[in-house]
Amino acid sequence: MMDPPRHEGIAAATLYNEASRDLVLAFKHGRRIALAELLARLMLARIPALEGEWLVVPVPLHRWRMWRRGFNQSALLARRIAEALGQPVLVDGLVRVRQTPSLGRLNRRQRAQALDGAIAAHAGRKDRLEGANVLLVDDVMTSGATTNACIKALRKAGVGGIRITCFARVLDEALELAGEGQSLAA
């Protein structure tokens, strides 16, 4: 029997396909940060109504990747989503405590291993996280390894409910192809 999810649901704006991949790559690696507004609007259309207060928390980047890229794409999305929902954003609620390799060419098992212990709640933000409901924001949800690492850190910090939103979600069939050597680089 599979373990039940440790969250209250996932809202994806679209499936990960050639068109969504092009948008994500332009946004994330092409430095087209103006796309954040469009992607966030598409994500907002899929997020179910949130009762009460929810902290909007982005998936973190390691400081070196943030330094090289110049921005955290998930944080850009989280800010716009929080503003549109009238909810508070906590851009540094989670931190990557160690650098992880690029996950694009890794299969499900390798992704989970790479992220094991790599994400934690920010020590200075645990008081804001404890008991809070969290809307976790990411650009692409592939195998769920990053999301699971974030959920584990959030649960350890004592959050209440967790919902996940992403721009694009990869189907399991695509992950099987990646396990056969095809790339899901985003």
Residue 106 DSSP symbol? -
User: Is position 100 within any domain?
Assistant: yes
pLDDT band of residue 175 (cuts 50, 70, 90) is very low
37: number of Cβ within 10 Å: 13
Residue range 6-12: mean pLDDT, rounded: 89
**Tokens at residue 113, please?**
């291993």
Alpha-carbon dihedral sign for residues 37, 88, 141, 111? positive
Does 185 map to a domain? no
Residue 180 is predicted with a pLDDT of 47
Residue 4: inside a domain, yes or no? no
Separation of alpha carbons 167 and 138, rounded Å: 7
Alpha helices by DSSP H, listed for the chain, are 18-28, 35-44, 63-69, 73-85, 108-115, 126-129, 145-156, 172-179
- pLDDT for 181 equals 47
Q: Mean pLDDT, to the nearest integer, of 27-53?
A: 95
From residue 185, how far is each of 18, 52, 117, 167 by CA, in Å?
11, 36, 22, 15
Q: Lowest-confidence range among 19-28, 65-74, 151-160?
A: 65-74
Least confident among 35-49, 132-146, 161-175: 161-175
Other beta carbons within 10 Å of 21: 16
- Residue 5 falls inside a structural domain: no
For the beta sheet containing 10-15, the strands, ordered from the edge strand earlier in sequence to the opposite edge, are 10-15, 162-169, 133-141, 54-58
186 located within any domain: no
Q: Are 108 and 143 in contact (CB under 8 A)?
A: yes
Burial class (CB in 10 A: 0-12, 13-18, 19+), 181: exposed
Which single residue is written with the structure tokens 């098992």? 109
pTM over 0.85: yes
For residues 133 and 90, give the distance between their C-alpha atoms in angstroms, rounded to a whole number.
12
Domain that holds residue 158: 10-179
Residue 80 forms part of a structural domain: yes
* Structural domain contains residue 3: no
Structure confidence by residue, pLDDT tens digits, 136-167: 999 999 888 899 999 999 999 999 999 999 99
Give a yes or no: residue 2 inside a domain: no
Tally of domains in the chain: 1
| Interval 77-107: pLDDT, tens | 999 999 999 999 999 999 999 888 777 777 8
Query: What are the φ/ψ torsions at residue 77 (nearest 5 degrees)?
Result: -65, -45
Q: Which CATH number is 164's domain given?
A: 3.40.50.2020
